[in-house]
Amino acid sequence: MNKLKKQLLILSLALNSTLVGCGVSKEPTGTGITAEIDRVDDFGNTEETYDPTPASIPSTYYNKDINETTTIGDLNSLHSLEILPSDSSSIFWLSNCKNLRSIDIDLSKCSYDEWNQICYDLEKIDFSGFEKLETAYIYTYLDGSANTFNEENFGFLRRIPNLKNITIITNWIDSSFIETFNNLEELQIYSSCANLNIDYSKLPNLKRLDLSGYEPYTLAMDLTNSDLETLDNNGVEVVFRDNNTRSKLLEINNKLDLMIDDIDIKSDDTDIEKLRKISIYITDNLEYDKDTAMAIGDGEDVGGDYFYQDGFLYGALEEKSQVCGNYSALLHALGKRVGLEVYDVSSINHAWNFVKLNDDYYVVDLTYIDYDKSAIELLKNNQIDNLAYYLKTLDQEKETDLNHLTVDVPEEVIKKNKVYEKKYKTIINNEN
C-alpha cells in the first residue's frame, strides 16, 4: 500500500490547516517558538507585575521573538505560543506562560526518544492555573516513529481547566482518551490511521467536529450511520472534505450494514467467532489481485492507487479485485460494526490488521489467507490454531518476517510486546 502517499497527505493537511478558534497560522515561521506577546490585557491594563528575571529558555526554542534575553515577564505576557523543539531540552519554562489563550505543540522535529522525554516533562507541569487557555494544537506525526495521542503522553491536556478546542495530527489516537474531554466544543482530527472509534455521546458539549482531512471510503471504517445520528441529535456541526462526502458516506455505510446482515452474527457469538465469520465473508467475497500486488511490492508504478480512490475501502466495495489495504480496511470496518476492536496497519509494501482481544493484540492477515486456498478451508473448518497470521500474538511472529515489520502501530503494542519492541527498534535504526 502507498504509505508515502498517506504520510504526504497528512503532512500537507498539517501545513495548510489553521488552528481552530485562535487564528494561528501553521505556516513555518522558523524553529523554536513563535509567539504573540502582549503585556497588557484587552482593556489596556497591566495584567500583573512584570517580572524581569531571565527565563533561561534552551536555545532549541529560540527564534526572532524568543532568545536568551526573554524574561519570565515576557512569558507571562504571551497569548499564543507555538513550540517546535528539535531536541528534548527542558520545557519547564512553559509553567510561566499562564496567560496563554492558545498553544501549538509540534514535535515532528524530534526523535522518538526526544518526543517521549518532552511528553514526560509536560506531565510534570502544573497546568491548573492556565485558566485562559482554551485551544490546543497537537502535531505528533513523526516519520519513522509510532506515537499515540493518549493519557500517558498527553494527560496534561486534561489538567487545563477551560480547554475547549483541540486539533490533533498524529499516527494513532486513543479514542477513550478523547472521550474524557467533557468540556470539548471543537475537535479537529487528522490521523494517518483511521482509528476514529469515538463514542460521541461522551462529548456532550461538542459543537463542531472537523473531519475534512478524510475521504469517505476511509471515514466509513469508523464513522457509522449511528454515529452520524448521535452527532446530529446533539446539534454537532460535522465538517467534511466537500459537499458530497456526507451523502457518499451514508451510501457506503448502508453497503457495510447490508454485509453485516449477510454475515448473520448471532447475539451469543463470541468475539473470536464474530471475527471468524467476518473473515470467511471477506475471503469469500474479495479476490486478491496477485499481479498488481506483486508489481507494487517490486516498486513498479502500475497505477495501484486506484484501489484507494476516495479512501482505503474503495477497492473492497467497488473493484472486482483487491489488494492488501482493501482487505485490512474491510475487516476494520465490519469489525467496528459488531463491537470488535480492529486496527489496520501497514509496512512499506503490505497491510494487515491487529485485533485486540482480552487486552492483547493479535495479528490477522486475511490477504495471506486468501492467497492460500488451503488456509481458507482451515478457517471455515474452525481449525484456526493451524493458521499462520491469524490470531497469532506478536511474540509468535518470526523476527525475520519483513512483511510484517512496521512502526505504524499503537504505542501500547510496542511497549507491551518484547519481540515486537525489538523489531520496532530494528526498523527505527534502519530508517535513521
Cβ(190)–Cβ(213) below 8 Å: yes
Q: Dump the DSSP string for 202-216.
A: G-TT--EEE-TT--H
d(CA 250, CA 218): 12
Q: Show the cell assigned to 387.
A: 493458521
Q: Dump the DSSP string for 383-419.
A: -GGG-TTEEEEGGGS-TT-STT--S-S-HHHHHH-HH
CB under 8 Å to 92, separation ≥6 — which residues?
121, 124, 125
Backbone angles phi, psi at 189, to 5 degrees: -130, 130
Q: What is the pLDDT of residue 34?
A: 55
d(CA 99, CA 80): 9
107: nearest Cα among 9, 31, 218, 221:
31
Q: How does pLDDT run along the chain (432 residues), one tens digit per residue?
A: 444 444 444 444 443 433 333 333 333 333 455 555 555 444 333 545 789 999 999 999 887 778 899 999 999 999 999 998 888 899 999 999 999 999 999 988 887 778 888 989 999 999 999 999 999 999 986 554 456 788 988 999 999 999 999 999 887 888 889 999 999 999 999 876 667 889 999 999 999 999 999 999 999 999 999 999 999 999 999 999 999 999 999 999 999 999 999 999 999 999 999 999 999 999 999 998 887 767 666 666 555 577 888 888 999 999 998 989 999 999 999 999 999 999 888 777 788 998 988 888 888 999 999 988 899 999 999 998 888 889 987 666 554 455 666 656 666 666 665 555 555 445 444 444
Q: What is the pLDDT of residue 397?
A: 56
Under DSSP, is residue 237 helix (H, G, I), strand (E, B) or coil?
A: strand
CB under 8 Å to 328, separation ≥6 — which residues?
312, 344, 345, 346, 351, 352, 353, 366, 367
Sheet containing strand 135-139, strands side by side:
32-37, 78-84, 102-106, 135-139, 165-170, 186-191, 208-210, 237-239
The number of beta carbons lying within 10 Å of the beta carbon of residue 45 is 8
Provide the CA 322 distance to its chain's centre, in angstroms: 25
Provide the CA 356 distance to its chain's centre, in angstroms: 17
Q: What is the pLDDT of residue 431?
A: 45
Under DSSP, is residue 155 helix (H, G, I), strand (E, B) or coil?
A: helix
Cβ(327)–Cβ(367) below 8 Å: yes
Question: Helices 324-337 and 245-263, interaxial angle, to 10°?
Answer: 80
CB under 8 Å to 370, separation ≥6 — which residues?
282, 283, 286, 288, 327, 376
pTM assigned to the model: 0.82
Domain boundaries of the chain, sorted by first residue? 3-210, 264-431
Q: What is the pLDDT of residue 112?
A: 73
The CATH class of the 3-210 domain is alpha beta
Cβ(335)–Cβ(342) below 8 Å: yes
What does the angle CA 306 – CA 310 – CA 313 come to, to the nearest 5 degrees?
80
d(CA 49, CA 374): 77
Question: Beta strands 172-173 and 208-210: pairing type?
Answer: unpaired
Q: What is the pLDDT of residue 121?
A: 94
d(CA 80, CA 71): 16
Q: What is the pLDDT of residue 101?
A: 96
Q: Dump the DSSP string for 159-199.
A: GSTT--EEEEEESEE-HHHHTT-TT--EEEEEESS------
CB under 8 Å to 239, separation ≥6 — which residues?
208, 209, 210, 211, 212
Backbone angles phi, psi at 169, to 5 degrees: -125, 115
Q: Show the cell assigned to 58.
A: 534552551
